[in-house]
Amino acid sequence: MDTQTEVLNILSDLTGEDLSDQLDENIFETGLMDSMGTVQMLLELQDKFGIAVPVSEFNRAEWDTPKKIIAKVESLQNE
Amino acid sequence: MINLQPYANPRYFVILLIALLPLMIGLYYGHRFKWYEALVSLIFLVLIFDGSKWQQGVNLILYIVYQFLVTFGYQKYLKSGHNKTGVFYLMVILAILPLTAVKVAPVVPHNESITIGFLGVSYLTFKTVQVIMELRDKTIKTVNPVDYARFLLFFPTISSGPIDRYRRFVKDYNNPPERSEYLKNLQYGVRYLFQGFLYKFLLGYLFGTVWLPQFAKSALFSGHAAGGLRLSWALLGYMYCYSMYLFFDFAGYSLFAVAISYFMGIRTPMNFNKPFIAHNIKDFWNRWHMTLSFWFRDFIFMRFTFLAMKKRWIKNRIHLSQVAYLVNFLIMGFWHGLTWYYIVYGIFHASAIIINDIWLRFKKRHRKQIPHNKWTNAFAIFLTFNVVCFSFLIFSGFLSQLWFSWK
């Protein structure tokens, strides 16, 4: 599976919604995502991709749409 | 001796703006006169803590020396290649220790009245703890002592925030804005300044100084006549009036602090975003005293849930979030002070947000059956507003006065 599908799977588990056609939706504003969901997501990303994102590194503005999350994961994987 | 409390009266603004003028001209030409800025900061800090407040000034100096020892001791330890969890917790405890002493002192009986606190100690502690946590996470690689001193002692926000973050502050500080950017900052700064005058000196004054004492008097009078829980219509009036006062006074102050920061080329984050149009409690905490609630979100709530999930302390995620809310808001209550009404205020908000979450989950499951239109939205705002105002009535301590005759 590629990164995009994996991330979207994680997000759909967390939010209960398929976000593949809403890649630019601000998931914090729509209420799909909150702090609790964020922590779960970071842990899942750590498990699946081995990327460690400390919670103090987490800046909502950089992670607020599925597209941005995918891009973030991809750039962290290449580090 | 001249003593100038921050933003207390129009004279303060006149003196401040004259002092800042050379700095602003420098920024207009793309330079930050760091020495001049340090000098102005020092003078305005001395003006806060001189005269009868000298004891607080001494405490501030001791506090800064102490926090420097903790932070740079920890940094040295980390640079030596270790990163033990126990040491990290110890450092956080050491950083919070002075604040804890300040909060506990008033409830411990003692003979002499010694001042151990100073204006701003509560807010400075957020900054020091944040830096220790980020050093641990390695999101802050190195703390520069001069930058750190400027960050802690940034005088426009020293007394009551907004609470900035080290990395954000240093970036602004070391990169003076472009001219067009700076002109925009000035524009916003002027707007915020006048909005602040309207909020704090006019509306805050009307609600807090003119009307509030009248509501208080009549609520105490009719409360004693009514007996029981001493409820009255005047108490309801007090609740709304106090809520308005709290908002306009604090939002007004915050606007001043942000405006002056903008004049100095530092984009201190905003503290309020129309909190009374929030449609639920969660939304409210994204709009009310934002730099405080985001600090708690990032450094208490998220850290706690992250740790608890990783260590599997609480398996059920819903229960975990409820415990985390309670921890979060209890600490916030204690931070306000060790009296029953601050702690009840914390528990009240934790309960409100837990109930809110239960409702949101219920709504998600029954999306088809639950109507959603402008009327339900208006009702949601109305309900949230009243829940919030009630929480402020607890927070005000007036119930303590009404029921037990002490505050």
* pLDDT tens track for B63-89: 999 999 999 999 999 999 999 999 999
Residues 6+ apart with CB under 8 A from B77: B87
The rounded distance, in Å, linking the Cα atoms of B246 and B231 is: 22
The rounded distance, in Å, linking the Cα atoms of B276 and B386 is: 10
Residues of B in contact with A40 (CB under 8 A): 309, 317
Quick one: CATH architecture of A3-77?
Orthogonal Bundle (1.10)
The rounded distance, in Å, linking the Cα atoms of B271 and B16 is: 22
Collapse the DSSP code of B15 into the 3-class scheme (helix H, G, I; strand E, B; otherwise coil) and give the result.
helix
Interface-testing mutation among A17, A34, A35, A64, with chain B (most B C-beta atoms within 10 A): A35
* Average pLDDT in chain B: 95
Which of B48, B36, B42, B54 lies closest to B2, judged by CA?
A: B48
Collapse the DSSP code of B153 into the 3-class scheme (helix H, G, I; strand E, B; otherwise coil) and give the result.
coil
| Residue B211 DSSP symbol | I
Contact B231, B162 (CB under 8 A): no
Tokens 């946590």 found at: B133
Residues of B in contact with A54 (CB under 8 A): 137-139
Active-site annotation holds for B289: no
> What mean pLDDT do residues B125-138 have?
96
The rounded distance, in Å, linking the Cα atoms of B213 and B207 is: 9
> What mean pLDDT do residues B303-325 have?
93
Residues B138-151 pLDDT 10s: 999 999 999 999 99
Q: Predicted confidence band at B354 (pLDDT cuts at 50, 70, 90)?
A: very high
Residues of A in contact with B287 (CB under 8 A): none
Cα distances from B322 to residues A29, B56, B283, B326, B347, in angstroms, run 21, 39, 17, 6, 11
Return the residue of B nearest to A36 by Cα. B321
Tokens 């001042």 found at: B115
**CB spacing of A36 vs B324 below 8 angstroms:** yes
User: What is the pLDDT, as a whole number, of residue A65?
Assistant: 94
- As a residue count, chain A comes to 79
- Whether omega before A66 lies within 30 degrees of 0, making that bond cis, reads no
Q: Predicted confidence band at B25 (pLDDT cuts at 50, 70, 90)?
A: very high
The rounded distance, in Å, linking the Cα atoms of B77 and B140 is: 14
Q: Which segment of A10-19, B60-69, B258-267 scores lowest on mean pLDDT?
A: A10-19
Residues of B in contact with A36 (CB under 8 A): 305, 317, 320-321, 324
Among the partner residues A39, A43, A57, nearest to B139 by beta-carbon distance: A57
The rounded distance, in Å, linking the Cα atoms of B135 and A36 is: 23
Residues B85-115 pLDDT 10s: 999 999 999 999 999 999 998 888 776 667 7
Residues B34-57 pLDDT 10s: 999 999 999 999 999 998 899 999
Q: Predicted confidence band at B347 (pLDDT cuts at 50, 70, 90)?
A: very high
Q: Inter-axis angle of helices B340-365 and B317-336, to 10 degrees?
A: 150
Using the predicted structure, report yes or no on whether residue B310 has a pLDDT greater than 70: yes
Angstroms from B389 CA to nearest CA on chain A:
24
Among the partner residues B133, B301, B360, nearest to A56 by beta-carbon distance: B133
Q: Inter-axis angle of helices B34-49 and B10-28, to 10 degrees?
A: 170
Collapse the DSSP code of B288 into the 3-class scheme (helix H, G, I; strand E, B; otherwise coil) and give the result.
coil
User: What is the pLDDT, as a whole number, of residue B277?
Assistant: 97
- ipTM tops the 0.90 cut: no
C-beta pairs of A46-49 under 8 Å, 24+ apart in sequence: A48/A6, A48/A10, A49/A3, A49/A6, A49/A73, A49/A76, A49/A77
Which of B279, B336, B349, B366 is flagged as catalytic?
B336
User: What is the pLDDT, as a whole number, of residue B112?
Assistant: 62
Among the partner residues A16, A31, A35, nearest to B302 by beta-carbon distance: A35
Under 8 Å CB pairs connecting chains A and B tally to: 43
State percent of chain B over pLDDT 90. 90
* Average pLDDT in chain A: 89
**CB spacing of A16 vs B364 below 8 angstroms:** yes
> What mean pLDDT do residues B362-379 have?
92
Residues of A in contact with B317 (CB under 8 A): 36, 40
> What mean pLDDT do residues B364-385 have?
93
Contact B161, B94 (CB under 8 A): no
The rounded distance, in Å, linking the Cα atoms of B179 and B162 is: 25
Residues B270-309 pLDDT 10s: 999 999 999 999 999 999 999 999 999 999 999 999 999 9
User: What is the pLDDT, as a whole number, of residue B406?
Assistant: 84
The rounded distance, in Å, linking the Cα atoms of A31 and B306 is: 20
Residues 6+ apart with CB under 8 A from B226: B232
The rounded distance, in Å, linking the Cα atoms of B402 and B407 is: 9
Among the partner residues B137, B139, B302, nearest to A39 by beta-carbon distance: B302
**Largest pairwise CA distance in chain A:** 31
Interface-testing mutation among A56, A59, A62, A76, with chain B (most B C-beta atoms within 10 A): A56
Determine contact: B55 vs chain A, CB below 8 A.
no
Interface-testing mutation among A55, A57, A60, with chain B (most B C-beta atoms within 10 A): A55
Residues 6+ apart with CB under 8 A from B254: B160, B161, B162, B196, B270, B271, B272
> What mean pLDDT do residues B157-170 have?
96
**CB spacing of A55 vs B137 below 8 angstroms:** yes
Contact B147, B170 (CB under 8 A): yes
Greatest mean pLDDT among A36-45, A50-59, B162-171 lies in B162-171
End-to-end Cα, chain A, rounded Å: 20
Residues 6+ apart with CB under 8 A from B197: B252
Which of A43, A77, A41 lies closest to A60, judged by CA?
A: A41
Contact B74, B309 (CB under 8 A): no
Q: What token pair was written down for B316?
A: 């059920």
Residues of B in contact with A16 (CB under 8 A): 364
